[in-house]
């Protein structure tokens, strides 16, 4: 079984920037492959149980977003379009055909933007406890401004680590919560340069509108929620479902933001169900579109 400690990165060079990914596959992988996208200040480690589970039957590629984890972190603006373009380029370079893209937290918002910008790239998409379709007033809220001031200020590391600890919530045994935080969350949080972390969250909260991507995204889509008050307040799943009526929503039981690790069995079962049923239903609808009877014209009505 692969573990966070034993996975080794592979690198692709895009314009002088090394983009890291971690790949596992069995000898005869099932389709579709999976592309896993990490969250803000995180890395591929958030998907350690999913890499181990799905890597037994499918090709699994877990990326580290530019500026995060093992990827290079050049001093530049970090935008949603930039992250999406990186992943689309990586998929092309790696020969990933119609993958299912799965994003945790901020990675789910990146996945939505990717699948909206490149509507033919993926066969399905899953967001896991992601902030999407935020209410209009959120960008100017005191909470967001405090976060930006903290991430952009001299106490950046303290603010970043405290934010990561708090969003994990306290459902789990305290010792296990501490282990998950120190093993999977803290190392990439401590590694990401301040400029990359600040530019990413600033551009996401202040300069990004997900509506065009959601409107363009027609593939099967699922959202797996945790139970985090901050995320619940900052997203609008009703609005997302208006734009994407194919969206299926589920929720893990008694788990915080890092539910991919905390309750991996629940998350894996939901992903398995989406792969087995959600994609198949979409294929059936595509193969057998509903029959629409043409309205009778006036002459037909008079003849009747």
Number of domains composing the chain? 1
What is the predicted pLDDT for the residue at 282? Answer: 73
User: Is residue 290 in some structural domain?
Assistant: no
What is the predicted pLDDT for the residue at 136? Answer: 84
User: Is residue 139 in some structural domain?
Assistant: yes
User: Is residue 275 in some structural domain?
Assistant: yes
User: Is residue 302 in some structural domain?
Assistant: no
User: Is residue 120 in some structural domain?
Assistant: yes
* CA nearest neighbour of 171 among 184, 162, 180: 180
Q: Using a cut of 0.85, tell me whether the model's pTM lies above it.
A: yes
Ranges under pLDDT 70 in the chain: 1-5, 285-304
- Domain of residue 25 covers 10-283
User: Is residue 183 in some structural domain?
Assistant: yes
Helices 156-167, 194-207: crossing angle, 10 deg rounding: 60
User: Is residue 304 in some structural domain?
Assistant: no
User: Is residue 294 in some structural domain?
Assistant: no
CA angle (196, 38, 30) in 5-degree steps: 145
What is the predicted pLDDT for the residue at 223? Answer: 98
What is the predicted pLDDT for the residue at 302? Answer: 43
What is the predicted pLDDT for the residue at 146? Answer: 96
* CA nearest neighbour of 48 among 161, 180, 192, 224: 180
Model confidence over 269-287: pLDDT tens digits? 999 999 999 998 877 765 6
* Spacing of C-alpha 230 from chain mean position: 17
Look up the CATH number of the domain holding residue 177: 3.40.50.1820
Tell the residue number behind the tokens 């990675």, with chain if given: 107
What is the predicted pLDDT for the residue at 303? Answer: 44
């Amino acid at each position: 079984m692969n573990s966070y400690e034993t996975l080794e990165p592979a690198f692709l060079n895009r314009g002088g920037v090394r983009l890291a990914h971690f790949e596992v596959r069995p000898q005869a992988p099932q389709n579709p492959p999976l592309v896993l996208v990490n969250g803000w200040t995180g890395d591929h480690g958030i998907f350690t149980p999913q890499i181990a589970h799905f890597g037994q039957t499918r090709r699994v590629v877990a990326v580290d977003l530019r500026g995060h984890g093992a990827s290079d972190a050049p001093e530049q603006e970090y935008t949603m379009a930039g992250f999406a373009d990186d992943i689309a380029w990586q998929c092309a370079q790696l020969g990933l055909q119609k993958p299912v893209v799965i994003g945790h937290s901020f990675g789910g918002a990146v996945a939505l933007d990717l699948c909206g910008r490149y509507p033919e790239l993926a066969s399905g998409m899953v967001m896991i406890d992601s902030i999407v379709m935020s209410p209009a007033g959120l960008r100017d809220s005191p909470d967001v401004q405090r976060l930006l001031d903290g991430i952009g200020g001299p106490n950046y590391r303290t603010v970043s680590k405290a934010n990561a600890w708090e969003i994990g919530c306290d459902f789990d045994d305290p010792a296990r919560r501490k282990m998950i935080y120190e093993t999977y969350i803290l190392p990439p949080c401590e590694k990401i340069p301040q400029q990359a972390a600040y530019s990413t969250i600033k551009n996401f909260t202040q300069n990004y509108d997900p509506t065009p991507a959601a409107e363009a995204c027609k593939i099967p889509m699922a959202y797996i929620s945790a139970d985090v008050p901050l995320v619940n307040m900052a997203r609008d799943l009703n609005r997302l479902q208006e734009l994407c009526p194919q969206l299926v929503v589920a929720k893990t039981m008694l788990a915080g933001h890092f539910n991919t690790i905390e309750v991996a069995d629940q998350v894996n079962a939901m992903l398995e169900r989406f792969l087995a049923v959600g994609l198949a239903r979409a294929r059936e609808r595509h193969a057998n579109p509903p029959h629409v009877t043409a309205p009778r014209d006036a002459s037909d009505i008079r003849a009747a």
